[in-house]
């Protein structure tokens, strides 16, 4: 599904990723770990198409397309979803209208019929329960006045509605207590199937107790310096990152 | 310049002749003398530094209002706020239109009528208030207005009276065979503990060359509450100079909401005088400009007594080669302790050629006060843009949506749903690529 080959990136002429390789098949969950500043969010942003991140070398193919050729909105319509590490507040843009428009843009792109208000609300109610979203957050402006935890939950809520093919969760677990963490994991697990892939960026092994990854990768020096199964995360938790170098 | 004044002189003579024995003629004359002496301001005058009124000065406008300018029901329907139950006063090219106004069936405790009518029939009350509540030294535009007062709205709400229906004053400027100036004059007197909502809506069509020079005086006695909405949607070649003046007694509250989107050269003045303790003014404003429009917003608040409050929040969206000005002056007089004055001006520049001059001015002569001010000028936020695009919103739509959201911060403060809706439609109509955002708002 996703094939990252020898990727080099720079932000404002600062080199960040230097020769990263990663291959992900449909149905897989890949955890990416690594110390602060190792480039995890950079990778997530590159995949979602944020301006200002230059790819100086290498390639990224996604479902046999050159991902780097697509605009962020085209990627979203093709099924790429990024749950942001720091979801931005957007005063004046309604949470639920945005989500409905997003869903319908994606459905239209897939050649599916658009949902009307009733159908959409039925879907919303169902998913809200799943991630225990407070109803009054729906009618507010995007993330405005949300607590840190509510913002993260809103990201997962959006993900469960949009049903992406490739979901990238950037430290969605940071700052969450154990109950919230379980809810987030629940949202992810409900979407897991053979056609969908996940990249779960995290600092902590504890999230991986609830979302069982197929692979764990460690990012360092701009590339993946170690890969393994779930046991690698446990080892990292015990020994820290220095042990790898 | 001489020639220009000559033209105004000729019109003034004509008006004077028709109103010879009028009780107001002395005031007209002295106002005209002031205008004649000072002429139009130039950009060397600090208050007019960013706004050159030469384009107004070099026109020859007719200042005598015509009556019987035709309109039609469809046009009026478009302009009035259909779903809002209100008292309508309609003026066409400066003259009160009985046909389109509806001021019947109003309680005896409320006077709502045209200024032309009031000048004849309400002499004693007008003598007490008219021209008495202009806070600043008479500037030349205000003087010109006073000299040429022919019509406008006169509203007087008795003590302890609450008028539920908003009073909607509409000034329509239509085609005429020559360039014309109107000098609308409104006087609103709010008795003790009275409550009212007033809308001033200035509308004009595309190519008509005209100049609106309006002045509104408001008096709020103790405990009075006035909500004032001004919608400025003059035609694209129009000149619009207006001042709104408040004179506020103890515990009175004035709420001003301004939406300014029309006109070629525009100046919106608000002068608030907080004369007694507990008086408060809120000023929300939104200006949207495009092409080569020039819109200047000037506010001045005089905190004359302790425990008075002013809150200003102005936003601008500037596109094309347009230019905006925000100049907010707050004067805290000696003895005016424990006042609160808050001022904020945020601007969004949508093009490289648009320009904004924002200038807060604080003059504080008391020591125990809370004053804050801030101004920002910026482009759309990259993080917000990316967030929306990552949710499948295309870039054009995302830009339009964020621009709308920025402007709507001001509109969403308006708590009369029908007015809010009308203004939201108006600003959506003014956005780049507005058709794209319908499903988001
Ligand atoms: N927009 C940016 N501008 C400048 N430097 C950046 C930017 N984004 C990331 N960086 C830098 O790139 C490096 C990697 O950052 P990031 O990808 O956020 O790491 P992580 O998510 O692993 O903590 C850091 O040194 C960071 O300071
Ligand atoms: Mg990060």
**Among B11, B151, B164, CA closest to B93:** B151
Please report whether residue B53 resides in a domain: yes
Q: B387 and A142: CB-CB below 8 Å?
A: yes
Ligand 1: residues with CB < 6 A are A 11-12, 14, 16, 34, 36-42
Confidence band for B205, pLDDT divided at 50, 70 and 90: confident
Is residue B131 situated within a structural domain? Answer: yes
Chain A contacts of B404, Cβ < 8 Å?
92
Average pLDDT over residues B284-310: 97
Closest among B175, B206, B185 to B93, alpha carbons compared = B175
What's the mean pLDDT in B325-334?
A: 97
- How far does residue A171's CA lie from ligand 2's centre (Å)? 7
Distance A37 CA to ligand 2 centre (A): 7
A98 in B contact zone (CB under 8 Å): yes
Decide if pLDDT at B11 tops 90: yes
Contacts of A105 in chain B (CB under 8 A): 392-393
Please report residues of B whose CB lies closer than 8 A to that of A99.
391
| Per-residue pLDDT at B178 | 87
pLDDT tens figures, A29-65: 999 999 889 999 999 999 999 999 999 999 999 999 9
Among candidate residues B255, B276, B297, the one where a domain is terminated: B276
pLDDT recorded at residue B369: 96
Which is more confidently placed, A149 or B385? B385
Pocket test for ligand 1, best of A9, A39, A203 (most atoms within 8 A of CB): A39
Chain B interface residues (partner A, CB cutoff 8 A): 381-384, 386-395, 398, 401-402, 404-406, 408-409, 412, 439-441
**Smallest CA–CA distance from B392 into chain A, residue:** A73
Domain boundary pick from B276, B309, B330: B276
Interface size between A and B, measured as CB pairs under 8 A: 84
Please name the residue of chain B whose CA is at the shortest distance from the CA of residue A167: B390
Length, in residues, of chain A = 245
Among A residues 13-42, those touching chain B with beta carbons less than 8 Å apart = none
Instruction: Give the torsion through C-alpha atoms of B138, B142, B143, B149, to 10 deg.
Output: -140
Residue A74: what pLDDT? Answer: 97
Closest atom, ligand 1, to C-alpha of A45: 17
Q: Is A48 on the interface with B (CB under 8 A)?
A: yes
The structure tokens 């003398």 sit at: B33
How many domains does the structure of chain B reveal? 2
Please tell me the predicted confidence (pLDDT) of residue B67.
79
Which residues make Cβ contacts (< 8 Å) with residue B213, sequence separation at least 6?
B141, B144, B145, B148, B181, B182, B183, B184, B241, B242
Owning domain of residue B429: 387-441
CA nearest to A77 within chain B: B392
The verdict on residue B315 lying in a domain is no
Residue of A26, A23, A31 whose CA lies nearest to A212: A31
Instruction: Please answer yes or no on whether B402 and A90 come within 8 Å at the CB atom.
Output: yes
Q: Which of B257, B276, B295 is the last residue of a domain?
A: B276
A91–B389 CB contact, under 8 Å = no
Cβ distance B391 to A87 less than 8 Å, yes or no, reads no
- B125 within domain boundaries: yes
Distance from CA of A213 to the nearest CA of B (A): 25
Mean pLDDT of B66-81: 83
Distance between CA atoms of B286 and A86, rounded to whole angstroms? 30
Ligand 1, atom 11, lies closest to the CA of A37
Same structural domain, B154 and B9: yes
Which residues have CB under 8 Å from A180's CB, separation 6+?
A149, A152, A153
* CB-based contact B181:B211 (threshold 8 Å): yes
Same domain, B126 and B267: yes
SS3 labels along B302-369? EECCCCCEEEEEEEEEECCCCEEEEEEEEEECCCCCCCEEEEEEEEEECCCCCEEEEEEEEEECCCCC
**Predicted confidence (pLDDT) at residue B137 exceeds the cutoff of 80:** no
> Residue B433 has which token pair?
């690529």
Looking at residue B136, what is its pLDDT? 56
pLDDT one-digit tens code per residue, B141-185: 999 999 999 999 999 999 999 999 999 999 999 988 889 999 999
Predicted confidence at residue B439, as pLDDT, reads 81
Quickly count: other Cβ atoms within 10 Å of residue B294's Cβ: 22
Q: What is the pLDDT of residues A99-115, one digit of tens each?
A: 999 999 999 999 999 99
Share above pLDDT 70 across residues of chain B, in percent, rounded to a whole number: 98
- Per-residue pLDDT of B257-273, as tens digits, reads 999 999 999 999 999 99
- Matching residue, tokens 């301001």: B41
Contacts of B243 (CB under 8 A, 6+ apart): B134, B139, B141, B142, B214, B215, B216, B269, B270, B271
Task: Give the model's pLDDT for residue B430.
Answer: 87
Confidence grade of residue A203 (pLDDT, cut at 50, 70, 90): confident
pLDDT per residue over B217-269, tens digit each?
Answer: 999 999 999 999 999 999 999 999 999 999 999 999 999 999 999 999 999 99
Residue partners of B13: CB distance under 8 A and separation at least 6 = none
Q: How much of chain B exceeds pLDDT 90, in percent?
A: 81
Q: Is residue B24 part of a domain?
A: yes
List B232's β-bridge partners, or say none: B202, B260
Exposed / middle / buried, residue B306 (Cβ in 10 Å: 0-12, 13-18, 19+): middle
- Is the CB of residue A123 less than 8 Å from the CB of residue A67? no
Question: Average pLDDT, whole number, for chain A?
Answer: 93
Grouping H, G, I as helix, E, B as strand and the rest as coil, residue A113 is: coil
For ligand 2, the distance from its centroid to the CA atom of residue A41, given in whole angstroms, is 4
Beta bridge partners of B92: B95, B172
Encoded tokens for B294 = 């020039």
The ipTM value here is: 0.97
Nearest CA owner, ligand 1 atom 13: A37
**Four-residue CA torsion sign, A113, A116, A122, A124:** positive
Is residue B179 included in any domain, yes or no? yes
Mean pLDDT to the nearest integer, A148-167: 95
* Residues 6+ positions from A50 with CB-CB distance below 8 Å: A72, B386
The reply to whether B331 falls in a domain is: no
pLDDT band (50, 70, 90) for residue B135: low
Residues B268 and B394 in one domain: no
Closest by alpha carbon to B31, among B65, B55, B63?
Answer: B63
What is the distance in A from the centroid of ligand 2 to the CA of B109? 66
Q: Which residues of B touch A71 (CB under 8 A)?
A: 389, 394-395
Chain B partners of A52 at a C-beta cutoff of 8 Å? Answer: 382
Mutation pick from B387, B403, B436 vs chain A, by most beta carbons of A within 10 Å, is B387
Residue of B nearest to A86 (CA): B383
Instruction: Please give the model's pTM, rounded to 2 decimal places.
Output: 0.90
The alpha carbon of residue B323 is apart from the nearest alpha carbon of chain A, in Å, by 25
Which residues, other chains included, contact B121 with Cβ-Cβ below 8 Å and sequence gap of 6+?
Answer: none
Task: With CA atoms as reference, report the closest residue to B370 among B391, B339, B401.
Answer: B339
User: Tell me, what's the pLDDT at B195?
Assistant: 98
Which of the two residues, B284 and B438, has the higher pLDDT score?
B284
- Whether B22 and B119 have beta carbons less than 8 Å apart is answered as yes
Contact A142, A150 (CB under 8 A): no
Q: Which atom of ligand 1 lies nearest, measured to the CA of A171? A: 21
**Mean pLDDT (chain B, rounded):** 93
Q: Is residue B83 scored above 90 in pLDDT?
A: no
CA of A9 to the centre of ligand 2 (A): 15
Say if B362 falls within a structural domain: no
């Amino acid at each position: 599904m996703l094939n990252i080959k020898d990727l080099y990136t720079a932000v404002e002429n600062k080199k960040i990723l230097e020769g990263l390789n990663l291959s992900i098949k449909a149905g897989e969950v890949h955890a990416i770990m690594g110390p602060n500043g190792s480039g995890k969010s950079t990778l997530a942003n590159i995949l979602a198409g944020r301006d200002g991140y230059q790819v100086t070398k290498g390639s990224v193919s996604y479902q046999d397309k050159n991902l780097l050729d697509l605009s962020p909105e085209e990627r979203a319509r093709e099924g790429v979803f990024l749950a942001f590490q720091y979801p931005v507040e957007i005063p004046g843009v309604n949470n639920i209208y945005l989500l409905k428009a997003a869903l319908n843009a994606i459905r239209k792109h897939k050649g599916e019929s658009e949902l009307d208000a009733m159908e959409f609300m039925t879907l919303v109610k169902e998913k809200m329960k799943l991630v225990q979203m407070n109803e009054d957050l729906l009618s507010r402006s995007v993330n405005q006045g949300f607590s840190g935890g509510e913002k993260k939950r809103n990201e997962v809520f959006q993900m469960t509605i949009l049903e992406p093919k490739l979901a990238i969760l950037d430290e969605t677990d940071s700052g969450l207590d154990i109950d919230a963490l379980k809810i987030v994991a629940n949202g992810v697990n409900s979407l897991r199937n053979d056609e969908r892939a996940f990249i779960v960026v995290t600092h902590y092994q504890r999230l991986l107790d609830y979302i069982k990854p197929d692979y764990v990768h460690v990012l360092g020096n701009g590339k993946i310096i170690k890969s393994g199964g779930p046991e690698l995360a446990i080892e990292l938790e015990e020994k820290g990152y220095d042990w790898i170098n | 310049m001489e020639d220009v004044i000559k033209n105004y002189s000729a019109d003034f003579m004509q008006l004077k002749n028709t109103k010879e024995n009028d009780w107001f003629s002395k005031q007209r004359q002295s106002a005209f003398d002031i205008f004649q002496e000072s002429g139009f301001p130039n950009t060397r005058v600090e208050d007019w530094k960013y706004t050159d009124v030469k384009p107004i000065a070099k026109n020859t406008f007719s200042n005598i209002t015509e009556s019987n300018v035709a309109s039609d029901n469809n046009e009026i329907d478009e302009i009035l706020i259909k779903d809002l139950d209100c008292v309508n006063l309609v003026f066409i090219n400066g003259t009160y239109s009985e046909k389109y106004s509806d001021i019947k069936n109003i309680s005896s405790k409320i006077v709502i009528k045209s200024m032309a009518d009031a000048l004849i029939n309400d002499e004693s009350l007008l003598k007490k208030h008219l021209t008495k509540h202009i806070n600043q030294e008479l500037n030349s535009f205000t003087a010109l207005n006073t000299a040429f007062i022919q019509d406008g709205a006169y509203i007087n709400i008795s003590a302890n009276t609450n008028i539920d229906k908003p009073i909607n004053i509409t000034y329509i400027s239509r085609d005429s065979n020559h360039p014309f100036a109107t000098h609308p004059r409104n006087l609103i007197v709010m008795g003790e503990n009275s409550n009212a909502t007033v809308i001033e809506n200035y509308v004009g069509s595309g190519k008509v060359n005209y100049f609106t020079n309006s002045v509104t005086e408001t008096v709020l006695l103790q405990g009075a509450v006035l909500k004032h909405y001004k919608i400025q949607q003059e035609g694209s070649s129009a000149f619009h100079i207006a001042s709104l003046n408040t004179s506020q007694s103890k515990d009175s509250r004035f709420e001003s909401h301004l939406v300014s989107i029309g006109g070629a050269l525009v100046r919106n003045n608000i002068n608030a005088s907080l004369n007694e303790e507990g008086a408060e003014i809120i000023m929300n404003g939104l200006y949207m400009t495009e092409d080569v429009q020039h819109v200047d917003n000037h506010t001045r608040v005089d905190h004359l007594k302790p425990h008075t409050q002013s809150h200003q929040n102005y936003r601008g969206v500037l596109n094309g080669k347009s230019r905006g000005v925000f100049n907010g002056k707050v004067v805290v007089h000696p003895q005016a302790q424990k006042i609160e004055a808050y001022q904020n001006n945020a601007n969004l520049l949508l093009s490289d050629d648009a320009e904004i001059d924002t200038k807060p001015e604080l003059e504080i002569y008391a020591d125990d006060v809370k004053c804050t001010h801030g101004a920002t000028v910026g482009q759309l936020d990259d993080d917000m843009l990316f967030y929306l695009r990552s949710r499948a919103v295309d870039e054009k739509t995302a830009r339009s949506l964020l621009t709308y959201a920025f402007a709507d911060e001001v509109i969403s403060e308006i708590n009369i749903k029908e007015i809010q809706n009308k203004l939201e439609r108006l600003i959506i109509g003014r956005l780049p690529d507005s058709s794209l955002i319908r499903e988001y708002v």
